[in-house]
Amino acid sequence: MRTRETAVSFLHPFLLRDVGRVLPAGAYRVVTDEELIEGLSFPVYRRVSTMIVVPAGTPGAVEVVTVDPRDLQAAQARDAATEGTAR
C-alpha cells in the first residue's frame, strides 16, 4: 500500500457530490491510497481510495471525505472553464 498527497486549487466555489455542500475557493489537500498489484514483472498500483480534506463546521476544523476521483476532475474542469469565461 502507498499513499500519495497532492494539492488542488479552485478559483471559484465548487461542489463535490460526496461532500454534499458548496466548498469555498482555495487550495485543498487530496490523499490517494493505492495498492500494489502482485504478480507482475513491474510495479503497478491500483487506486483504492481518494480523499479530500475540507473545512468542517467549526473554524479551524477539517474533515476528510472520500470522493470519486472522476467527480473531483470534473469539478476542476468546471473551475478552469469558468476561469476562461469570467471577465
pLDDT digits (tens, 9 = 90+) for 6-62: 999 999 999 999 998 999 999 999 999 999 998 888 888 899 999 999 998 788 899
Answer yes or no: are the C-beta atoms of 36 and 1 closer than 8 Å.
yes
Domain that holds residue 47: 2-85
Report CA dihedral (59, 64, 70, 73) to the nearest 10 degrees: 40
> What pLDDT is recorded for position 82?
80
Of the two residues 74 and 84, the one the predictor is more confident about is 74
Handedness of CA 47, 5, 72, 15 (dihedral sign): positive
Q: What pLDDT digit, counting tens, does each position of 35-49 carry?
A: 999 888 888 889 999
Domains of the chain: total: 1
